[in-house]
């Protein structure tokens, strides 16, 4: 699979890119829930187009998504793997659907328009043929990792450091990327060290300062969320607001004020 190399941008190019993103975001926060949702989707789409020239990175998040996807393509022919198709059949969140689509692109299963490639068609088979074809895909997609690390004897820490240094992932995303890598390798019968085969993402709690921590309530893990809050999230930004009219109005005013401020800062001429 052909990948675009990382591009080294000049400070002027970085500034123009940031200005473009700021201008897009500044016009996307509306006054109603529908407008906000529509604006976020539009912003993510435009941002994804602007980021299209960047290097594809190893996928992260949930192996179950890919398990569902492999099952679907073996049961029926798919003409286009669109965001709508992913949301309706695999994961309902728009931002998560983008993550899955990016992962499928990294594996070379779809092109930038979501059209299936020959690699995807090769996975419509089952049994040993599926494992053999998936192995070729994994070895090709993760070729940089296999060239750098002897996975038959590797410890999870080695691959975590590789993901952090090579792709700029934080530790949590690196660990999620490792879990997916292990999932692909095990399904493709690629030999891994015992430590990798048994790798589990560590569960971390959100720590609070001792003077405000309440010991009577169970602390939330990173996988938990509160249904009383509406959350808008993408790879580029996220925010939450309590589902109350007064809270929504206050959040809208603060967000618009903040965006107006940064838009002026980023668009002002030197």
Residue 15 is assigned to a structural domain of this protein: no
Q: Do residues 74 and 120 lie in contact, with contact meaning Cβ atoms separated by under 8 Å? A: no
Same-domain check for residues 180 and 94 = yes
Same-domain check for residues 186 and 242 = no
Phi and psi torsions of 221, nearest 5°: -90, 170
Same-domain check for residues 71 and 42 = no
Structure confidence at residue 47 (pLDDT) = 52
Residue 170 is assigned to a structural domain of this protein: yes
Show which of 197, 213, 246 is a domain's final residue.
Answer: 197
Same-domain check for residues 68 and 41 = no
Residue 16 is assigned to a structural domain of this protein: no
Show which of 178, 197, 216 is a domain's final residue.
Answer: 197
Structure confidence at residue 178 (pLDDT) = 96
Same-domain check for residues 185 and 73 = yes
Residue 255 is assigned to a structural domain of this protein: yes
Structure confidence at residue 154 (pLDDT) = 96
Same-domain check for residues 158 and 188 = yes
Show which of 197, 215, 235 is a domain's final residue.
Answer: 197
Q: Which residues of the chain have pLDDT under 50?
A: 1-7, 49-53, 205-209, 211-212, 214-226
Residue 111 is assigned to a structural domain of this protein: yes
Domain tally, the chain: 2
Residue 47 is assigned to a structural domain of this protein: yes
Structure confidence at residue 212 (pLDDT) = 46
Residue 204 is assigned to a structural domain of this protein: no
For the record, the structure tokens of 113 come out as 């328009």
For the record, the structure tokens of 219 come out as 């602390």
Q: Would you give the end-to-end CA distance of the chain in angstroms?
A: 42
> At 110, is the secondary structure helix, strand, or coil?
strand
Maximum CA pair distance of the chain?
62
Give the residue numbers spanning the domain of 125: 63-197
Same-domain check for residues 169 and 143 = yes
Same-domain check for residues 192 and 107 = yes
Same-domain check for residues 193 and 85 = yes
Q: Which residues contact 194 (CB under 8 A, 6 or more apart)?
A: none
pTM of the model: 0.60
Same-domain check for residues 189 and 109 = yes
Structure confidence at residue 200 (pLDDT) = 87
Same-domain check for residues 45 and 98 = no
The tokens 């190019």 sit on which residue?
Answer: 13
Residue 123 is assigned to a structural domain of this protein: yes
CA–CA gap between residue 46 and residue 40 (Å, rounded): 10
Same-domain check for residues 45 and 140 = no
């Amino acid at each position: 699979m052909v990948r675009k190399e990382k591009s080294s941008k000049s400070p002027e190019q970085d500034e123009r890119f940031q200005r473009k993103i700021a201008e897009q975001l500044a016009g996307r926060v509306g006054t109603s829930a529908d407008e906000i949702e529509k604006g976020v989707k539009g912003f993510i789409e435009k941002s994804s187009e602007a980021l299209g020239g960047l290097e594809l990175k190893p996928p992260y998040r949930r192996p179950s998504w890919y398990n569902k996807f492999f099952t679907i393509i073996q049961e029926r022919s798919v003409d286009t793997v669109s965001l709508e198709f992913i949301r309706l059949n695999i994961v309902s969140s728009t931002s998560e659907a983008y993550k899955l689509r990016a992962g499928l692109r990294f594996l070379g299963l779809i092109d930038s328009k979501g059209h299936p490639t020959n690699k995807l068609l090769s996975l419509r088979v089952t049994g040993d043929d599926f494992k053999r074809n998936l192995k070729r895909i994994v070895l090709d997609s993760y070729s940089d990792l296999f060239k750098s690390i002897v996975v038959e004897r590797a410890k999870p820490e080695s691959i975590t450091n590789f993901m952090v240094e090579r792709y700029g992932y934080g530790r949590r995303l690196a660990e999620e990327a490792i879990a997916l890598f292990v999932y692909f390798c095990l399904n493709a019968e690629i030999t891994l060290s015992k430590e990798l085969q048994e790798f589990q993402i560590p569960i971390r709690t959100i720590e609070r300062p001792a003077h405000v921590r309440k010991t009577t309530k169970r602390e939330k893990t990173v996988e938990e969320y509160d249904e009383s809050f509406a959350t808008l999230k993408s790879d580029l930004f996220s925010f939450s607001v309590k589902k109350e009219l007064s809270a929504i109005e206050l959040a809208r005013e603060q967000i618009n004020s903040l965006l107006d401020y940064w838009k002026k800062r980023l668009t002002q001429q030197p």
